[in-house]
Amino acid sequence: RCRNQEHPDKEFFQRDIEATYKIPLKYTNIPDDVVFDAVLPDDIEIRVADKGSEIFRYTFTLKDSIEINIAKYKEERINNLQGTELMQLIRKKLSQSTNLKAYYPINISLVTSKLQKKELKVVFDGVIATSRSNLVADSATFLPGTVIAYGSQSQLAEISSAVTEYTLFNNLKATSQLKVKIMPVSGVKFIPDEVELYIPVLEYTERKFEVPVTARNVPDNIDVKFFPSQTEVSFSVTLEEYKKIAPEDFEVELDYKKFFKNEDGRVDLELSASPSPIRNVKLSPSSVEFLLESR
């Protein structure tokens, strides 16, 4: 940023002016399996001298980054960016008339250490909620389902999965493919560090059927009566499956051996048969009274 007046007069444009700027640094082509031993600076500060007109122009043109191509310097076995190499990068941003008086930092260490790698399964941390008439039709899946973690052997030994950042997906109305970031782990690099979560969502509707309550494994000399003798089964089903489901697909058949000793004369109901595409099953009542009579 130029530390001079923002609305210069004509005299300013002709004068010799010194100014300080910060130029952002952008590092490209970094190999996946390395980590920098020193923290890389985000920008470089330069002190320049030139006519006011040139200095004023820099206020706008020096906002673009200086690109540092790591792969190129690795190939040339340059582990410390300094002197001529660094000055050349800065000079590309400046006019020939400009005097580069100083810059900081005066060197950038590009020394790296080799990392170990480990393939990890992606695990979702968060909540997926649909709008009222919709439900997640199947389990959500990641694309890709695994990522590669790069780090030291001891760091990787402590990680068993790549967990996403806590994410809330609310009010989903249709099948969605959404981006999720991998939760950063200090000193570990994930490739990729962002995955897509595929969430199959279908529109559901509610249905109800009356289903009789029956018993199995009943001795020949005993009659079992239930009060009430049937229960209402309510469930959610996709519009596509709605017409394919009939009351005969449901069964509430209780095992006599499991309930005949119940002292309170009640038994909890559960479905012994039901079609697979249904969701959110509720029984009302959820328990019934029973009476045992000798024949």
Check pLDDT > 50 for residue 5.
no
Domain containing residue 67: 10-113
Say yes or no: 138 and 87 in one domain. no
DSSP element (H, E) containing 70 = helix 70-75
Domain end, chosen from 174, 199, 224, is at 199
How distant, in Å, are the alpha carbons of 36, 135, 172 from that of 207?
Answer: 60, 15, 22
Q: What are 174's two structure tokens?
A: 């249709």
Is residue 3 in a domain? no
What confidence tens digit (pLDDT) does each residue in 35-83 have?
788 889 999 999 999 998 888 888 888 888 899 999 999 899 999 999 9
| CB contact burial 274-286 (16+ within 10 A = b; e otherwise) | beebbeeeebeee
**Averaged over 147-174, what is the pLDDT?**
88
**Averaged over 171-193, what is the pLDDT?**
89
The sign of the CA dihedral 199, 200, 201, 207 is: negative
Say yes or no: 170 and 209 in one domain. no
Is residue 1 in a domain? no
Q: Closest Cα to residue 52, out of 16, 19, 20? A: 16
pTM, whole model, 2 decimals? 0.52
Question: SS3 for 86?
Answer: helix
Residue 137: pLDDT band (50, 70, 90) is: low
Say yes or no: 131 and 107 in one domain. no
| CB contact burial 125-136 (16+ within 10 A = b; e otherwise) | eeebebeeebbb
Say yes or no: 107 and 122 in one domain. no
Domain end, chosen from 184, 199, 214, is at 199
Say yes or no: 148 and 229 in one domain. no
Q: How many CB atoms lie within 10 A of CB 167?
A: 15
What confidence tens digit (pLDDT) does each residue in 240-252 have?
888 889 999 999 9
276, 203 contact by CB (below 8 A):
no
How distant, in Å, are the alpha carbons of 214, 224, 266, 286 from that of 283?
Answer: 15, 20, 15, 5
How distant, in Å, are the alpha carbons of 101, 233, 264 from that of 252?
Answer: 88, 10, 20
Domain end, chosen from 199, 214, 229, is at 199
pLDDT of residue 7: 58
Q: Closest Cα to residue 44, out of 91, 98, 95? A: 91
DSSP E strands, 29-65: 34-36, 43-51
Q: How many CB atoms lie within 10 A of CB 258?
A: 12
Is residue 244 in a domain? yes
**Averaged over 147-172, what is the pLDDT?**
89
Number of compact structural domains in the chain: 3
CATH number of 149's domain: 2.170.120.40
Higher pLDDT, 12 or 105: 105
Say yes or no: 209 and 166 in one domain. no
Is residue 177 in a domain? yes
